Structure 1
Amino acid sequence: MNLPATYEYYAVIPHRTQPAVLLLHTENGWSLPCWQTTERHFWQTCDHINQTIQDLLALRVITLRCLFINQDTGSGHFIRVYEFENRDAQWRPPVNGSWIGFSEFKTLPLTHQMQRAVLEAWFTEQMEGIPTTRRAWARTGWFDETARWIVEILQGQAIEVSEAVQQVRTWERSCLLRVATTYGQVYCKAVPAMFAHELPLTQHLDVHWPSHAPSVLAVNRQQSLLLLRNFGGPKLGERGIFAWWEEAVHTFAMLQRETVTHADSLIAMGCPTRTLDDLIEDIRALLADTETLFVGGKGLTNSEIAALRPHLSHFLNLCQELKTYQIPYALEHGDFGPANVAWVEQRPLFFDWSDSSVAHPFFSLCLFPEEMEISFPDTSDWQMRQRSAYLRPWVCYESLERLTRAFEIAQRLAPLHHASRYHRFILPHMEAKWEMTLMIPAYLRCLL
């Protein structure tokens, strides 16, 4: 019998006014506050972490960022280390705890040597200063300022807040907050500059396709904040109802087709433009970047890289062939899948448009077919039905036969489109590149 995976958490909790960190004395040495659990959470999810520290230490904290992850899938043991904002000025350490500065830390025996490397880097940053690239939500004070803005906006709309604002998730891609109100749950999403177009785009979708887009309560362009009403309903991936998936694909294609006439507006509001000519250059740059493909031994193997590169000319020829079809550029989601589709009032609702661009629309279905195959193993004709549902709205541009061929080409090129998006638009703007660097080899393995 397989034992459940164990998750070991460590907390870097700083003193509010001094460059010192909380360490607890144990019989085996000094340690950051830590605990183990078999509960599985995505590492970006932090509400349960904040609550655990409240329960263990009676201390209110906000998660700033994840500092270290070690995932041993073979043994099922996972280690995660996070940095926190200490939000309680009156709090005092327990009897076995002390605030430890850098000079004292260097001489203390630690229970786990992993902690030494993490804390040395943390103390160095305290002395040298926080990098200018650090996300706003990973800085002390951001949460309280944002929570005040949320409450002010809601009160201005006669919506009463019934509970304190809670932090739900945080990483470099975004931070998500939640608050209970008389209007139901309300969510606030903060995004970095590279995804700033998601704010006006979501507003645009709410205006033009309100049945299939989140309801926007407010936008703060200066702070890159998006305040959304909870749309409720299950996510597509939480329900094994094939008709819902089929309808979602069809409706999404119709929405994309309608955005063709909105392309100039989408570009004007900041949506990246990614033409097939751009993709040709991006593919060349991506496949030539050995360091990005290899990821220090964690990405593609040397043999996988060697197997992929000889296909460069084939990929470029496919781009040229796809250009011969009269399919216009439209809104491409960038991360279209059952996790980003909700089923609300018997209709699909599409959300999380951070990775979107104006590009070849067929690239959006990169991973959706694989998800359908996994979710509906007993539906033998799922592939034909999915393709038919998606392509029907496009017959005004090409015959179904030619659309089918264009779809096949786009499915082959889609992993390159998405991998090159990370290579060109996302990873260069990330401080903790480890959070997303494995996305490139993951997409490229779809081609092998």
Structure 2
Amino acid sequence: MASLRSVTTTPNADRSSQEWRDAALTWVSDALARHGHRITGPVQPRLRPWSLVWRVPTDVGDAWFKANNPGTRYEAGLLAILSRLTPDAVLRPLAVDPERGWTLLPEGGPSLRDVLAGGDDRVARWERVLPAYAELQRTVAPQAGVLLDVGVPDHRPERLPRLLDELLDDRESLRPGEPDGMSVELHERLRAYRVEFAALCRRLDEMGIPATVQHDDLHDGNVFAGTCGYRFFDWGDASVAHPFGTLLVTLRSVAHAAELVDDDPALSRLRDAYLEAWTDRYDRATLRETAHLAKRVTTVSRALSWRRALATDDPARDGYAEAVPGWLGELLAPTLV
């Protein structure tokens, strides 16, 4: 059973050291040289508990280096696979080192957030983005086993009940009774809910929609919206799961940004725009029921994603520690759309 601290941090533990920095810069420089390019200035770092990102100036514009911590290291291998299977929907990496969890990406252009800041209609934009993302998921689904082989976490419905049990036993992550942890009362309610949760997962599995890659943090900051179409990035929270679980974060983020209430018809339109990709095999009523179930159980997936992200000795992780109990507690909240 993994807890917040139980994953070692060997590849990036010394990333503030000159030795680590030199090794990473050499890797980036060599990768750029293979493409005929070179670094032209100092890198600009951004450090989070789950990754280190460098903005790297080059003679053809910026490149982006990312070093994942062990809890999200699989992102490098996942991105390499996605770029082969869906080259029009993700950036093709300039270099990937799955063993160390390192990737180097070219500049992707403006993000969807940048575009929306210019006054574009948010809901109309997402009505175009979500079908493109659904197509990526459908393309990848037959290769779900390949993703599992490279370490992408397994959050398929049949696995979630056992994963919930593990989370509820992980007192270090949940800290029941502590000020920023889960209340003892909620912890007991979730334990009592496990039988019903397992039934929800069985029902979701029985719907028969194949598991595939599920981004788990798809919002306007993780989509490029340039002239080449929509490209999806930042896959560090991803898992192999029910595809419709994506809607949990996406619809919430749209509702928050657009100041919509939870049952606003615009959110139903976005849900249906996303589900349209599956109407060749399922009727819309079934798809809507499935989406409702998937959003409900995916709160456990979000808690697991945060636990992996915070599996580090970085002191900054303490600023995010409430995310694991917070998302798990959402399991008992009502799901409207």
Map 1:355-394 → 2, pairs under 5 A: 355-377=237-259, 380-394=264-278
Deviation at 1:374, TM superposition (A): 2.0
In structure 1, the partner of 2:30 is 152
Structure 2 Cα separation of the partners of residues 238 and 199 of structure 1: 27
Tell me: higher relative CO, structure 1 or 2? Use CA pairs within 8 A at least 6 residues apart. 2
Percent identical: 25
- Paired letter, 1:388: D
Residue 270 of structure 1 aligns to a residue in which SS?
A: coil
Deviation at 1:322, TM superposition (A): 0.9
Question: Among 142, 153, 158, which residue is 2:20 paired with?
Answer: 142
Structure 1 Cα separation of the partners of residues 106 and 270 of structure 2: 30
- Paired letter, 2:25: A
Residue 188 of structure 1 aligns to a residue in which SS?
A: strand
Q: What whole-Å deviation, never above 9, does each CA across 1:147-178 have from its counterpart, x for those lacking one? A: 232223223322133223x1321133111112
**Which structure has the bigger radius of gyration?**
1
Question: Among 279, 294, 308, which residue is 1:410 paired with?
Answer: 294
Gaps of 5+ in 2: 1-8
Question: Among 301, 315, 321, which residue is 2:183 paired with?
Answer: 301
Deviation at 1:208, TM superposition (A): 2.9
- The structure carrying a bigger helix percent of its residues is 2
Deviation at 1:204, TM superposition (A): 2.3
Map 1:248-397 → 2, pairs under 5 A: 248-294=129-175, 296-345=178-227, 347-377=229-259, 380-397=264-281
Taking a change above 3 Å as real, the CA distance of residues 426 and 149 of structure 1, as seen in their structure-2 partners, is closer
Structure 2 Cα separation of the partners of residues 249 and 422 of structure 1: 24
Structure 2 Cα separation of the partners of residues 437 and 200 of structure 1: 27
Give yes or no for the alignment of 1:431 onto 2:313: yes
Q: What whole-Å deviation, never above 9, does each CA across 1:247-287 have from its counterpart, x for those lacking one? A: 11221111101111122322233322222221011112323
In structure 1, the partner of 2:61 is 184
Structure 2 Cα separation of the partners of residues 156 and 275 of structure 1: 39
Q: What whole-Å deviation, never above 9, does each CA across 1:184-226 have from its counterpart, x for those lacking one? A: 1111111133333222221222233222212311123444321
- The structure carrying a bigger strand percent of its residues is 1
Deviation at 1:132, TM superposition (A): 5.7
- Paired letter, 2:327: Y
Structure 2 Cα separation of the partners of residues 237 and 327 of structure 1: 34
CA contact (8 A) 1:332 1:360 kept: yes
Taking a change above 3 Å as real, the CA distance of residues 377 and 173 of structure 1, as seen in their structure-2 partners, is closer
Structure 2 Cα separation of the partners of residues 395 and 373 of structure 1: 25
In structure 2, the partner of 1:235 is 112
Residue 233 of structure 1 aligns to a residue in which SS?
A: coil
Structure 1 Cα separation of the partners of residues 211 and 240 of structure 2: 6
CA contact (8 A) 1:294 1:302 kept: no
In structure 1, the partner of 2:4 is none
Measured on the aligned residues, the alpha-carbon RMSD in Å equals: 2.5
Residue 343 of structure 1 aligns to a residue in which SS?
A: strand
Structure 2 Cα separation of the partners of residues 262 and 217 of structure 1: 23
Structure 1 Cα separation of the partners of residues 233 and 164 of structure 2: 28
CA contact (8 A) 2:51 2:67 kept: yes
Structure 2 Cα separation of the partners of residues 201 and 267 of structure 1: 9
**How many residues were matched structurally?**
315
